Amino acid sequence: MTSYRPSFKNKELIRNTSFVNGEWLDPPNCPSFKVTDPATNEVIAELPDQPVSVVDEAIDAAFTTFQSSYRHTTPRQRAKWLRNLYDLMLENADDLAKIICWENGKAYSDAIGEIKYAASYFEWYAEEAPRLYGSTIQPSNPSNRVFTVKQPIGVCGIICPWNFPSAMITRKAGAALAVGCTVVVKPDSQTPLSALALAYLIDKAGFPKGAFNIVLSHTQTPAFGLKLCESPKVKKISFTGSTPVGKILMKQSASTMKKLSFELGGNAPLIVFQDANLEDAVTHAIASKFRGLGQTCVCANRMYVHKSIIKEFSERIAKEVSKFVIGPGLKEGVTHGCLINSKAVEKVQSHVEDALDKGAEVVVKGGLLPELGPNFYAPTVLTNVSPDAIVNKEETFGPLCAIIPFETIEEVVGYANDTNVGLASYVFSKNVDTLYTVAEALETGMVSCNTGLFSDCSIPFGGVKESGFGREGSLHGVDDYVTVKTITIGNLPAPL
């Protein structure tokens, strides 16, 4: 096992404490928590495991800044700050990607892709900030006139996951900052260094003190979430994570009737019909399934392949998987890194064992790679997986490629929709009628046809059912951070 400790051009990006009201807090007299490199389990940082009082401090700072100044800044000024931030992220892209590799374990190619994707949200919302349009309405009373304005909702609590430690912040904070909201961010304690680096760049971009705040904790994470949900000064919670945690946050937010947007669990089906371009379908299935080694919420979790082509499809998938180079994310030539922790490894193993117990056939055995490190797992490819296997009901979030046969459109749509979540789905066919029919029938918030990679700042991202609600990105991305105010002017004189 080799340790790959990165070197950074801009060492100021590595921070060791919370960022509140434009200041890096002096590490308090409190316990610390360790951040580890999942490739080696080596400790790479020790950060303060702060008390809940730091959340109050951050909320107060965000509230004061929102009320006194930030809500009154011009859209063009906010656009300038966001554009500055976009430029700063690209200038520091190499270092930011290395931080992700270091604390998250993904390969550098994935990490640099995340940074460019994350930065694109600041560019997008810099362009959207001046376009926060209202509307004019002619009511039934001819002597009245009505117009609407969109106003920032206020302080926003942002709770983020570990799998995209940079992009999940920018996708939310970009929209909030663009419309005039201030934010308090709670990053996952497994990957806080990316969030702290982002705070450093936000400070350099010129945003007012208190507009963007980062709070850190490990053991107090549930209490931090509760504080954000129950504070009357926080008007919005945006969360990306598991469905069970989303339900808890929703209950906790009921006491103050907060506005909520949740991007929760997925279990994405990928459907390949017999008339699909098989080469393209395999290429895009690989890209979707194994991005981040399967640790994204839109990764294809279930591959439904028509019975007539399942053998050839499986063999082609195996051939592409054999080309993977698995290893530490910072090692040159590595295409895929490691899983985030031992629990992730155990979940993949349990799903593989369940599918095999129910009759699946092994195409690529895969499995643990202890010679590389504790959390390395080579992809497993199984074919003729039973529709009753647990992978059909529960997201694996790892490198298990489960291939399930089907024969009819009705059958496969039934399989795909037989889950309580609905985030993303994929359909491959040359027949436009098939694409339209299946895309409209699938119970997911996003359907990707004949491509496995669709995420982009310009599209609305979000799910249905227990995958949550609200949309991030696109022109709709600002909607969750504003209120629509209706203004009526009455008793106007008759027209001349």
Stated as kind and residue range, the H or E segment containing 402 is: strand 400-406
What Cα–Cα distance (Å) separates residue 21 from each residue in 14, 182, 203, 304, 375?
Answer: 19, 11, 10, 50, 37
Give the span between the Cα atoms of 115 and 446, in whole angstroms: 23
Identify whether 263 is a catalytic site residue.
Answer: yes
Give the span between the Cα atoms of 233 and 433, in whole angstroms: 50
As a whole number of angstroms, the longest Cα–Cα distance in the chain is: 86
Q: 137, 171 in Cβ contact below 8 A?
A: no
H-helix segments, 17-69: 53-68
Q: 355, 385 in Cβ contact below 8 A?
A: yes
Q: 371, 1 in Cβ contact below 8 A?
A: yes
Pull the structure tokens for residue 351.
């799903």
Catalytic residue among 103, 123, 263, 466: 263
Residue with tokens 């647990």: 390
Radius of gyration in angstroms for the set of CA atoms belonging to the chain, rounded to a whole number: 24
Query: Read out DSSP for 71-100?
Result: GGS-HHHHHHHHHHHHHHHHHTHHHHHHHH
Give the span between the Cα atoms of 332 and 264, in whole angstroms: 33
| Residues carrying an active site annotation | 263
